[in-house]
Structure 1
Amino acid sequence: MSSSELLSKPTHTTNTNVTSNTIDSPLKVVTDPQTYSALAYAPPNNNRKTPLILVLHGAGKNDKDILRDLADPYGEHAGLIPSLIASHTAPSNLLNNFCVLAPYSYGKSSFYEDPRKKILDFVDWAIRNQNTEDVLPFQFDPNRIILFGFSDGATVAIELLTTRRFSKGVICSYGYSGKSLPSTALQRLSNLPIWVFHSQDDVIFDVHNSDRLVQQLEMVNNNNNINNDNNNDKHIVQYSRYNRDPENLPARAKGHSMGITASKSSDLYDWMIQ
């Protein structure tokens, strides 16, 4: 789902205004020629132990300059982490504690159209090239990469989390409508910290998609913990299920707002850093 349908654009917004909003942005454009360009952010006290948030946006036209899209506070992907950083409205515990990489599915409606391996290859590129001035001028802990997905990006994120390449997952407005994930996938997701966000009045993706996901994750985690006599991970899966759209989006996108709600949640970043 395009965020241009999530937030109403002010009538005065022009390309010039977008440039003025992003010209002093702390985000930088980085590019792996084989996979994606991305927006990158590093906190002031960046070091090799800094966790990384990998942001997968939802569907859109995705045909603009990356800064004019991902970083635009009134653009297609408005309200997600990159636009909050660009507009200087991101929570302080995000800005002070995390690196961010937000790849851009240029020319595709979403990451759903690409092989999942392409994103994993991008992650490998980032790990190899971190802390290089001309390529990726920050460093991060490759064992603490947190996957954040919204809408189509959330559906892809669940698939990627089964690789066990990521330390935590944030799943916002999940789109998979199948009755159950394969048992092998669920086993690979077990004991992995995941926070799911969905609103009951979502008119794009039914909240029952996330209800089923959470139920299945809780079941596999409970079964594994019983078998292992391990009761330490009772809250490994968290679910923020809203009765009403907290962002009060227009009717055509009502409730499909969890990428925005999660991105500005200070509590979420406290959970990520644990």
Structure 2
Amino acid sequence: MLKLSSLCLFLLLFSAIVVNAKILSEPLHEEVTPPFAGEYTLVIEGFDWGPAVNKVVLSMGETVKETNSSEFAVYASRNSNDGEISPATASGTRSVVYSYVSDAKGNRTESGEFVTLILGVSPIHPIGSPIQYFRAKGNVWIDYKLTVVQTSSGKVWNTEKDRIMPLVDQFDLNGKFKHSESLTMSYAAFAPKMVKEKAPLIIWLHGGGEGGFDPTIALLGNRAANYASPEIQQFFGDGAYVLVPQAPTFWMQGADGMTRGQTNDMYNVALMALIQDYVKSNSKIDAKRIYVGGCSNGGYMSLKLIMEHPDYFAAGYISALAYGNEFITDAQVQKIKNVPMWFIHSKDDMTTKPDETVVPLYHRLKKAGAKNVVFTYYDNVTDITGFYGGKDYQYNGHWSWIYSHANLARTDFDGSPVLVNGRPVSIMEWLSAQKK
């Protein structure tokens, strides 16, 4: 018998259910043409482990008032010209958790011409991700397609019409800064809507896998878009500007490969010029409240900028620091000891080993007299929801930035709560209180 592709088989099986026909044992030479070929909109959101397609909005072609999630089956395929995706994660079914009648953007309505399916997502189910990490290129968008079948009617949706990325869509993604003829950098920028006078600026510098010229990767690769969320914006009065620059390659690139601080990198001068240009172009940014932070590669670059320009930044917030302590001089420690900084790291981080990076630096800063340096030190990085990964699920120990993006870090190195004016605070509450 002719071997069918998994997608073809999927469609055939459900078409058979609809017409109550049995699949013939004779060879099949044509794919079944669905009686209704509809369009869908993908909804993509950032999660602790990265982005996932967690909703799909179906155009029904008629007005409906109710829907049943058990009537829908969803098949996903993932392909890329940038590298090979393993067969185990290249295709498969998606679980439908719930469905409801909605408008075209997925907002619930009593009746309408659209139905939204909520899809199950999890860090252990990469079939839900529209991006893929390749060692040579980092995180890249892939060709992500869905085929949705309504078993009660035989309708099939197999054409993507649009994509919605709720937080990312609030950013200006067209930022370009030309530093020289050979160096241009992309960036994403968010501006709060209700600024009356001045608002602070939060700068986030991505990790090593999010370089390139597509800021959506820098926003979603490790959930940086969350700094524009209402949950975090509320700590900054009328809100805060958010700037997410993107390295063309990776922040730690030096003239002869990767640097951990032993040699100069090739981007810090251009990045600082980008930041200054953005501040100059946005008159409502409060120059006394500019905060810089990042993870891993971005943690390296955040510390580099603070060491080069200690009087420019009101505070730093750094996860999984990749700057080697051995390459930081005592003079540099003295130079930055009065800059408020909050470090986050996990003891089981085997990528940026804490005993070689943040632990000795923290103690050197304290010994030098730093009065406002905080270090939240986790045993490991766990599923903070207790749901998506499951009870006691552990992420890679390098991923300590999860606690920054979710605003969960609250303790110092000795386990005591961090206080501002005698009150326990989270990392974003602390950040919002820092001012030059």
* Fold shared, TM-score > 0.5 on shorter chain: yes
Partner of 1:148: 293
Equivalent runs, 1:42-53 vs 2, <5 Å: 42-53=191-202
Partner of 1:65: 214
- Looking at structure 2, the residues matched to 23 and 93 of structure 1 have their Cα atoms a distance apart, in angstroms, of 15
Cα distance 1:252–1:115, how it changes in 2: closer, same or farther (>3 A)?
Answer: farther
- Looking at structure 2, the residues matched to 19 and 94 of structure 1 have their Cα atoms a distance apart, in angstroms, of 30
Cα distance 1:179–1:18, how it changes in 2: closer, same or farther (>3 A)?
Answer: farther
Cα distance 1:18–1:171, how it changes in 2: closer, same or farther (>3 A)?
Answer: farther
- Looking at structure 1, the residues matched to 161 and 230 of structure 2 have their Cα atoms a distance apart, in angstroms, of 17
- Looking at structure 1, the residues matched to 326 and 271 of structure 2 have their Cα atoms a distance apart, in angstroms, of 26
Percent of paired sites with the same residue: 19
CA offset digits 1:146-176 (Å, max 9, x no partner): 0111101111111211211211001110112
Which secondary structure does the structure 1 equivalent of 2:345 belong to? strand
The offset of 1:18, in angstroms, is 9.2
Residues 1:188 and 2:328 aligned together: no
Q: Name the aligned partner's letter for residue 103 of structure 1.
A: P
Question: Is this contact kept in 1: 2:177–2:186, CA < 8 A?
Answer: yes
Question: Is this contact kept in 2: 1:246–1:261, CA < 8 A?
Answer: no
Please, which of 67, 79, 95 is the counterpart of residue 223 of structure 2?
A: 79
Gaps of 5+ in 2: 1-45, 51-122, 131-143, 145-159, 254-265, 409-425
Cα distance 1:178–1:271, how it changes in 2: closer, same or farther (>3 A)?
Answer: closer
Q: Name the aligned partner's letter for residue 222 of structure 2.
A: A
Partner of 2:364: 216
The offset of 1:71, in angstroms, is 3.2
Residues 1:201 and 2:342 aligned together: no
Which secondary structure does the structure 1 equivalent of 2:223 belong to? coil
Please, which of 269, 272, 275 is the counterpart of residue 120 of structure 1?
A: 272
Question: Is this contact kept in 2: 1:197–1:239, CA < 8 A?
Answer: yes
Q: Name the aligned partner's letter for residue 179 of structure 1.
A: E
Q: TM-score, normalised by structure 1?
A: 0.77
The offset of 1:89, in angstroms, is 7.6
Cα distance 1:253–1:23, how it changes in 2: closer, same or farther (>3 A)?
Answer: closer
Bigger fraction of residues in helix: 1
Residues 1:243 and 2:379 aligned together: yes
- Looking at structure 1, the residues matched to 274 and 361 of structure 2 have their Cα atoms a distance apart, in angstroms, of 27
Q: Provide the aligned length of Structure 1 versus Structure 2.
A: 243
Consecutive aligned runs of 4 or more in structure 1 exceeding 4 Å deviation: 3-7, 15-18
The range that moved more, 32-41 or 198-207, is 32-41
- Looking at structure 2, the residues matched to 170 and 17 of structure 1 have their Cα atoms a distance apart, in angstroms, of 39
- Looking at structure 2, the residues matched to 46 and 259 of structure 1 have their Cα atoms a distance apart, in angstroms, of 28
Aligned Cα root-mean-square deviation (Å): 3.1
The offset of 1:256, in angstroms, is 1.1
- Looking at structure 1, the residues matched to 376 and 270 of structure 2 have their Cα atoms a distance apart, in angstroms, of 30
Which secondary structure does the structure 1 equivalent of 2:178 belong to? coil
CA offset digits 1:86-123 (Å, max 9, x no partner): 7x5853535753111000113x0x12223311111111
Question: Is this contact kept in 2: 1:27–1:85, CA < 8 A?
Answer: no
CA offset digits 1:59-92 (Å, max 9, x no partner): 015346322x1233xxxx2222x2x257x58535
- Looking at structure 1, the residues matched to 375 and 239 of structure 2 have their Cα atoms a distance apart, in angstroms, of 23
**Quick check: which has more Rg, 1 or 2?**
2
Gaps of 5+ in 1: 132-138, 223-232
